[in-house]
Every structure is written in C-alpha cells, then in structure tokens.
Amino acid sequence: MEPRAPGATSEVGRLRTVVLHRPGAELRRLTPRNTDQLLFDGVPWVARAQEEHDAFAAALADRGVEVLHLDRLLADVLDGPEAREELIAAAVDDPRLGATLRRAAVAHLSGLAPADLAATLIAGLAHDELRGGSGLAYRLMDRGDFVVPPLPNLLFTRDSSVWVGDQVAVASLAMPARHRESTITRAVVTHHPRFTGVEQLYDASLEHLEGGDVLLLAPGVLAVGVGERTTPGGAERLARRVFARGLAHTVLVVPIAQQRATMHLDTIATMVDVDAMVMYPAVAGSLVAWTVTADTPPDDDDTTDLVVRGPAPFLAAAAAAMGIDRLRVIDTGLDPVTAEREQWDDGNNTLALAPRLAVAYERNTVTNAALEAAGIEVVRIAGSELGSGRGGPRCMSCPVVRDPLP
C-alpha cells in the first residue's frame, strides 16, 4: 500500500503517520556539568529512557499509527552526496574549531558510512573519537570536549518541524544547543523520497519559531505561542506565509511566560477533542490572544498586510476563530500545588491520536482522571526518564499524516 501524502489540518484528526526519535548515545553524553547547556534538567537513565520510548512507539503502532524513526530517515538521505555535504558542513560550522580542526573533522565525517554518519551527527563527536585530530584548537581541548556537540533534544521531534496543511515548516530553533536539529530535519524533508515534492513553509534562517508553540486548533486556525522560544517576528512571518498560501485564515498569537516551565505553548495547553483542550488552570483565566488575519487577498509570502485585533481572552478568541460556541477546558488539577506539579511533569503535553483519544504520561494521575471524566480515553505511558528533558508525548512526536476532520 502506497504511503499517504503528508499533511495535517488539526491536532486531533486520526493520526496515521508520525516521526519519532528513539533516544540513544546522545543521552549518554549528558553529565551534571553540561545538562544546563544541553537543556536537560537531569542526567537520565538511558536504558530506561529507551524502554519508555519503545513502549511509546509500540502504543502508537498498536493503534494503527505508522512510526517513522528520524535516525533511519537520516541514514537514508546520507546515502546521497548532497545531504552528506550539507550536514557535514553544518556539523563543523562552529567558530570554536578553527581551520585545521575543521578540516580534520570533515575528513573524519566524510569517511563514515551513512548509518555511522547519522549516529555521529546525532550523538556528537568527542575529542578522543576524532581520527587525525591536530592543530591548536584540538590540542587545547580537554579529552571530554566535543568537536561536534551531541543533540539530546532531537528526542523532541515536534519542535524542529510542524506540518500545516500539506506543507512543512522547518523550525528556526532559538537555543544554540538545538540549531543543528533544524539542519537534520530540513535534509530529511528535502532529500528523502518519502517527502518528494513537499513544499517548505518556513526555514531555519528566519525569525525564531518552534513547533511546540504552534497548535492547529481547527482547519484554518492556528495558535502560536510567543515567549522563551518563538518570537513575535516568527509568529508574524508564519502568519503571512500561511495566509499567502491558503493554509489558514486566522492566527492567534498567544504571549506566554518566558521561563523554563512554560517554554512552549504546548506545555500549558494541548487539544484532546475538536472542541476541548487540556490546560494549566493557573493560566486559563489570564491567557490572552491577538487575532491576526488578512482582510485583503493575500499578496505573497512576506509582504501580505496583516490585520491585528486584540488582545482578547484566549478561550473566547479561539472559539470565535474556530466557529464554535465555546472551547471546553479540562483542568490539570484543582488545587494549585497539584496543578503546578502536573504541569511541570507535562500533564498538559498530550498527543491526540483521534478525537477523544490521547496519549499522556501515567504519572499525572489527577490530570488523567480529569481527562477521563471529560470523556477522553487516555493511553498511559511511562515517562520518568523521558521527561528529564522537559517534554511529553506531544513534544516527542511530529505528526506527518492526520485524517481531515469530518
């Protein structure tokens, strides 16, 4: 059976195909010394994280979802010279290296087979692993320093790309530790035969925009969080592009607190039904949105005149844009302490497999009970180690194919 053409117009249409990344050697690079720089809150038990991720992938497959693994897609495209050249160049584009060490790193990486090169681009290349290392920069490095840093956050495949309709937005990631993730995603969607002919809506050279901040509330309606990772300029650029390409008629721009606990919009709210959202109660009453539209026929990608209205309460603005009476909210805990704990543990970060069917971390017992009381079936997965990078089931998944809503 031929794979279906990629595309998604909502957060809750039945999920058919998803991209995941099974955590591997890159997590073994984490130490107490580098977790802050690499954006993890702790040093995970890697074998257990892999077991948890395998169970997550199996839960999706058991419900008919095709699971594509990012490292395998990457190895496929590294069979071709163009992707190899692009990704090796990106890996050594680092002012720390200097010309001599950069040449040595290019020679080392160029000699690797596709699967080995994919593994090295993800796990990084340490000083002592480099064949033929030389030069001043190399000599001044400590043995444990990285010539090519690892990408432990590649686990969170939602952030580096998001599909809007039949086009893919390759994200412009804000944190330096994550910049190369976008180069990998771009290479895969550009060169892999699975994505032949797909048009790219956004790219990493533009203003910061991350997939975790983009919610497809309904066909034609996007919500974009702006805060720690996505800038107002990124939201504005995306709005112009989706309007010019006929992919949306309304974009809600939602300011969120610029802090670690609420780094993306999907850390405080995710869709679980066509008219229902699980939301952190501490922000439910205060969250606002600016409604962005284009009153005149869209011109082109980057010059379309925008009309900005607001701010208005987010829930009211969202319901109006979606054409429904109200957006139902499912709280993540009634008392403030429980709500804060479960928000930190990604209780709001659910992955909808279909309307009223969502994957969630098992540890968020109060949130999961609230979801079930509201008629949402919950597929519980373990996440004690996966969550050390601050991400839940939605963060760890990039939907590629969803059914349109009726």
- Give me the tens of pLDDT residue by residue for the chain, a chain 406 residues long: 567 889 999 999 999 999 999 999 888 887 777 777 777 767 878 889 899 999 999 999 999 999 999 999 999 999 999 999 999 999 999 999 999 999 999 999 999 999 999 999 999 999 989 988 888 999 999 888 899 999 999 999 999 999 999 999 999 998 888 889 999 999 999 999 999 999 999 999 999 999 999 999 999 999 999 988 899 999 999 999 999 999 999 999 999 976 554 568 988 899 999 999 998 877 778 899 999 999 776 666 777 889 999 899 999 999 999 999 999 998 766 656 565 655 545 557 899 999 999 999 888 888 898 899 999 999 999 887 877 666 889 999 999 999 999 8
pLDDT at 31: 78
Looking at 96-249, which runs of residues are DSSP E strands? Answer: 125-126, 146-148, 161-164, 167-170, 200-202, 214-218, 221-226
User: Do 208 and 234 meet the contact criterion of CB atoms below 8 Å apart?
Assistant: yes
pLDDT at 346: 52
CA atoms within 13 A on the CB side of 6: 25
Beta-strand pair 377-381/357-361: parallel
What is the model's pTM? 0.91
pLDDT at 344: 47
CA distance 52 to 293: 42
CA distance 133 to 359: 46
What strands, in cross-sheet order, belong to the sheet with 15-20?
66-69, 15-20, 398-402
pLDDT at 295: 75
Catalytic residue (choose from 88, 242, 327, 395):
395
Residue 395 known to be catalytic: yes
**In the structure encoding, which two tokens stand for residue 79, read together?**
């069979």
Nearest to 284, CA basis, from 273, 276, 295, 293: 276
User: Do 151 and 180 meet the contact criterion of CB atoms below 8 Å apart?
Assistant: yes
Domain 153-400 has CATH 3.40.50.300: no
For residue 300, what is the DSSP state?
Answer: -
